[in-house]
Amino acid sequence: MPNNPPEDQTHLEKKAADEEPPRISEHDLLRCIGEGSYGKVWLARNVIGTYRAVKIIYRKTFDNDQKYEREFLAIKKCEPICRMHEGVVHILQIGRNDLAGYFYYVMEVADDVIAGQAFDWKSYAPKTLSSEIRRRGRLPVDDCLHIGLTLTAALEHFHKHGLIHRDIKPSNIIFIDGSAKFADIGLVTDISEAATWLGSPGYMAPERPGSPAADIYSLGKVLYEMFTGRSPEDFPVLPTDFGAQSDISLLNAFNAVTLRACEINPRHRFQSAQAMHEQLTKLADGQASAKQTQGVARARKASSSALRVVILYRSECQPDEHLLNVLHEQLTRHHCQVFIDKHLAIGVDWAREIEKNIREADAAIVLLSARSLQSEMVSYEVEIAHESAQHQKGKPRLLPIRVAYAGALTEPLGRILNPLQHCRWESLKDDQRVVDEVIDALQNPPSTKSPALGVKLESVGGAVPLDSRFYVVRSSDQEFKAAIVRQDSIVLVKGARQMGKTSLLARGLQQAREGGMKVVLTDFQVLNTTQLESPNNLFLTLGEWIATQLDLDVMPHEVWNPRSGPSINFQTYLRRNVLAKLTSPLVWGLDEVDRLFTCSFGSEVFGLFRSLHNARSLDPASPWDRLTLAIAYATEAHLFITDVNQSPFNVGTRLTLEDFTSGQVADLNQRYGSPLRSKRELSRFFQLVSGHPYLVRRGLHELVTHTTGVAELVTQADHDEGIFGDHLRRILVLLAKDHDLCEIVRGVLQGRPCPTAESFYRLRTAGILTGDSTRDARFRCQLYASYLRHHLL
């Protein structure tokens, strides 16, 4: 990710405009957003419209080929390790073009400083810890604790896997969906590499850098800069008002952590990032306990204090100013502190004062008229309020009022305000009603729509965390865990997209760990084109992943025999250098193996998996008896593997994930705090999304976090800009790539059966259709049928 300050952005773009950007597979390079010693970082968009960051490393920037190759190997080793921790930016793809003299890697993209992940690429500016410190000054100690805990855990993850970062500083820490992550991993290298003078002034340890202790020193300087707002060169000087702050004891304790992390003598520092993490955990636990003790007093104080309200509007237009004056007068009579920018002189202080008042407000009233929708200032102020609410437990609450306007909202207003309840004003006779509705909304916020119910929400999408209260246990869970306990040779988990295969696999692997087994996880979705170029590349990659996760001494390339085939080499390595070295059983989780079905050598890989099963049956006393393959996939294997004797998909324990039942949806609704308040609402919701795991959780999450009711959710569900819009558009993109499949879906919409078994299985694999055969093929849920009918008929 980029580490350039905003003022360098124009220079970067002008410089990049003079160069023809390289072609990166399945990505359009939009803008250059960063530049380092060895290459550039580009904002890119992939084929399904998702934004990514692409770093391109050029051979010409290195003195020799050896240094260039060493950089490539470091990124290659870092790729699987990055994806194993949420505190590190994920590398999603690696590729190289030796003719053109570069290699590249694709990463998650940072939030925009204003719009988060919902940004316009033309105005995108990455949100880094450096930009946050510049914007906010010193951060609250609670934020510092939270960020510190995330980064120390991520740093321990690096060190545990034999890597060091070497360039920890605020500009190399980004935010993705609001969470801090280490980025700019181009300097990450093996601990065993010779230390070099790399890093950034102010953050480099006084001894020769390139060690875990030096990383801890750099992170200590980052924590100092966060909670003091001062330059790292000022360390250990504290702010002049440090002693006057109310949370002085916590600040002193946090300062003690930075002092120890930045000791001149490395032996006096924390001896590991884990030790530093544990110290911050103690502070966080103590802070949580103190907050609980003070909770009642704070609640009383909050209820007795006047509400702070800002009114966002476009000046010098009617009837906006009329309603502004009415609201100002009436809310002031009801003891609200009302802020409007009517009496401020425009300038830098004016802009700062507006932002300060918005961020400190309990509520922000937005006057939406035909003219205010054209105001960039109104849009900007709404974005500030929305961004603040994400970090301040919903404050300020946004209260939109439509002023003689019933049309569509422009962006970004539509994205932010459409999900909210709108008050309507049409004429002067509506003055009092609008005032009453606003006062009622201020005094009686809808508790059923707020996470304040005690339900700790989590993001929806991807694997469900192991400790999640929202994970639904299905019959397949017990069957899977039983197979792991039995140490079956192969356990197959089959299900369409977003059915929970990865989440189930994670729970089975965790049970294996708790049972004393060794565990390896391979996600085939992260394989890049180079790794899938040949069977030799793939088997070497698989062996490296296994060796890395098990901390083995011998890497596969050290014992690879060029006279043997790739599968024989891998099988020999697995037997001699993996299983023979372990004293406990090994469970190897293989997720998203569907990627191999379309590979020219996929049958060779699956044939090897089948041969491992056969070898175990033929020789129970061999090391193969200690190996279990847990394979998760979606595609119908028989469409690609015609020789049953070469298929691992017709042996072992076979499990199929099913959608949630209506009872499981009702149970999940209760865990979310019952936003569906009656059997009728439950039935209406289930009729819309059926038991589709992702759609169920996404819908319940929306009902809890916004003022959307069930009726409004159902009405807007199949809209392109609705809450399921991204999910539905992905299905449309999938169908658009295949004309024949698209025509078959049109036929099903018109009541015809699938014409072939293959087309039915492909659509069932994609999660679009359900059923047991071509004749009873039907759409997975009403939402899919409604959306596709609108776009295809």
The residue with greater pLDDT, 609 or 722, is 609
Query: Alpha-carbon distance 10 to 340, whole Å?
Result: 34
In the block, which residue shows the tokens 């004003």? 425
Judgement on whether residues 268 and 225 belong to the same structural domain of the protein? yes
Nearest to residue 190, comparing CAs of 453, 512, 491, 555? 555
Q: Per the domain annotation, does 676 fall within a domain? A: no
pLDDT at 9 over 60: no
Judgement on whether residues 368 and 511 belong to the same structural domain of the protein? no
pLDDT for the residue numbered 392: 80
Cα separations in angstroms, 301 against 279, 306, 358 = 32, 10, 21
pLDDT at 266 over 70: yes
Handedness of CA 204, 206, 209, 214 (dihedral sign): negative
Judgement on whether residues 261 and 323 belong to the same structural domain of the protein? no
Mean pLDDT of the chain: 85
Residue 304: pLDDT band (50, 70, 90) is: very low
Residues 6+ apart with CB under 8 A from 728: 718, 720, 783, 784, 787
Residues 6+ apart with CB under 8 A from 186: 36, 38, 39, 55, 57, 71, 75
Handedness of CA 344, 345, 347, 349 (dihedral sign): negative
Judgement on whether residues 207 and 326 belong to the same structural domain of the protein? no
Of 656, 685, 709, which residue sits at a domain end? Answer: 656
Residue 485: pLDDT band (50, 70, 90) is: very high
Q: Per the domain annotation, does 68 fall within a domain? A: yes
The residue with greater pLDDT, 464 or 408, is 464
Q: Per the domain annotation, does 661 fall within a domain? A: no
Judgement on whether residues 74 and 219 belong to the same structural domain of the protein? yes
Judgement on whether residues 107 and 180 belong to the same structural domain of the protein? yes
Helices 248-261, 273-304: axis angle to 10 degrees equals 160
pLDDT for the residue numbered 714: 85
Q: How many residues are listed for the chain in this entry? A: 793
Q: Per the domain annotation, does 702 fall within a domain? A: no
- Percent of all residues in the chain with a pLDDT value above 70, rounded to a whole number: 88
Q: Please give the structure tokens belonging to residue 573.
A: 């390595």
Per the CB < 8 A criterion, the answer to whether 402 and 368 are in contact is yes
User: How confident is the model over 617-659, as pLDDT tens digits?
Assistant: 888 778 899 999 999 998 766 666 666 677 888 888 999 999 9
Residue 292: pLDDT band (50, 70, 90) is: low
Residue 218: pLDDT band (50, 70, 90) is: very high
Most confident of 6-10, 198-202, 709-713: 709-713
User: How confident is the model over 538-558, as pLDDT tens digits?
Assistant: 999 999 999 999 999 999 999
Q: Per the domain annotation, does 697 fall within a domain? A: no
pLDDT for the residue numbered 288: 62
Judgement on whether residues 336 and 372 belong to the same structural domain of the protein? yes
Judgement on whether residues 737 and 619 belong to the same structural domain of the protein? no
Domain region containing 417: 308-445
pLDDT for the residue numbered 261: 95
pLDDT for the residue numbered 1: 45
The residue with greater pLDDT, 37 or 724, is 724
> Which CATH number belongs to the domain containing residue 395 in this structure?
3.40.50.10140
The distance from CA 92 to its chain's CA centroid, rounded to whole angstroms, is: 12
Judgement on whether residues 383 and 491 belong to the same structural domain of the protein? no
Per the CB < 8 A criterion, the answer to whether 260 and 268 are in contact is yes
> Which CATH number belongs to the domain containing residue 238 in this structure?
1.10.510.10
Identity of the residue numbered 464: V
Q: Please give the structure tokens belonging to residue 188.
A: 């990450």
Judgement on whether residues 648 and 572 belong to the same structural domain of the protein? yes
Judgement on whether residues 262 and 328 belong to the same structural domain of the protein? no
DSSP 241-293: TGGGSTTHHHHHHHHHHHHHHT-SSGGGS-SSHHHHHHHHHHHHHHHHHHHHH
Query: Alpha-carbon distance 395 to 389, whole Å?
Result: 5
User: How confident is the model over 156-191, as pLDDT tens digits?
Assistant: 999 998 888 888 999 999 999 889 999 877 556 666
Judgement on whether residues 417 and 544 belong to the same structural domain of the protein? no
Q: Per the domain annotation, does 689 fall within a domain? A: no
Q: Per the domain annotation, does 675 fall within a domain? A: no
Mean of pLDDT values over 563-579 = 94
Q: Per the domain annotation, does 497 fall within a domain? A: yes
Maximal C-alpha separation, the chain = 90
In the block, which residue shows the tokens 């023979």? 580
User: How confident is the model over 74-105, as pLDDT tens digits?
Assistant: 888 888 888 888 899 999 999 999 999 999 99
Phi then psi for residue 612, to 5 deg, are -65, -40
Of 606, 622, 656, which residue sits at a domain end? Answer: 656
In the chain, the number of structural domains is 4
> Which CATH number belongs to the domain containing residue 649 in this structure?
3.40.50.300
Radius of gyration, CA atoms only, the chain: 29
Mean of pLDDT values over 146-155 = 94
User: How confident is the model over 339-350, as pLDDT tens digits?
Assistant: 887 644 445 566
Query: Alpha-carbon distance 437 to 444, whole Å?
Result: 10
